[in-house]
Structure 1
Amino acid sequence: MTNTALVAAAASLGMAALVAGCASHGPTPAPAPTQSQAQAPAPEALCNAQPAQAAVGQNSTASVVESARARSGARMVRILRPGQMVTKEFDTQRLNLEVDANGRILAVRCG
């Protein structure tokens, strides 16, 4: 074997070793949850409009709206006024209060 052939063979082996060192050895394991993640509170209950039906017929004052939200177990509340454009996505944590032009609550539903 000539010196040139020997050098080429050694270079090929060296490159193969470098490429093998860069290869992945499988997925990296997920880190263990921290104490705060392990003790995260359970998600809130889903909205239930039935207990909030008492708000129908009342004016949509801040206290009435908050009371309806709390009774339903919803995380948030949205007031829907006549002709108002609204998004159509369904949110299981949202209470919708449909009101008339005077702010009187006409309907209570989740979503």
Structure 2
Amino acid sequence: MSKYALSGVMAVFLLAGCAGSSTPDEAPPPPSMSQDDACGAKTLNDYVGQRADGETVDQLETDSAAERVRVIRPGQAVTMDYRADRLNVKLDDQDNIVELTCG
């Protein structure tokens, strides 16, 4: 086989790889926004203003739908990862609960 014929055959195979294929898969839908209270923080507003001692935090774990509870003190470094099933207990300087959120 001559090298021109071989080049032609190679070109056909290369172009066949570029031929139109089936439509690409569609991207999955974005996550549902209904998870904004997956940990049950909205039902725990009665705890705002209470002192966050061990007993109170244990009770929050029991009363919430959260898989885990994270206590956040003023100025404390926290990770920025969002976990809908985690209850964040934000405290003031006197360890009083000021806010309860999921994330």
Give the TM-score normalised by structure 1: 0.56
Pairing partner for 1:69 from 55, 58, 61 = 61
Aligned position for 1:90:
82
Pairing partner for 1:78 from 45, 57, 70 = 70
Aligned position for 2:98:
106
**Which digits, 9 at most, give the CA deviation of each residue in 1:27-63, with x for residues without a partner?**
xxxxxxxxxxxxxxxxxxx311012211100000111
Question: Aligned AA for 2:55?
Answer: S
Whole-Å separation in 2 of the counterparts to 1:52 and 1:67: 10
Percent same amino acid among aligned pairs? 35
Partner SS for 1:50: helix
Aligned position for 1:21:
none
Could you say which structure has the larger radius of gyration?
1
Whole-Å separation in 2 of the counterparts to 1:101 and 1:52: 21
**Which digits, 9 at most, give the CA deviation of each residue in 1:63-88, with x for residues without a partner?**
11121222221011111111111101
Instruction: For 1:35-54, list aligned pairs within 5 A.
Output: 46-54=38-46
Query: Deviation of residue 104 (structure 1)?
Result: 0.5
Higher relative contact order (CA 8 A, sep 6+): 2
Does residue 30 of structure 2 align to residue 59 of structure 1? no
Query: Deviation of residue 107 (structure 1)?
Result: 0.4
Whole-Å separation in 1 of the counterparts to 2:100 and 2:72: 10
Partner SS for 1:57: coil
What is the root-mean-square deviation of aligned Cα atoms in Å? 1.1
Give the TM-score normalised by structure 2: 0.60
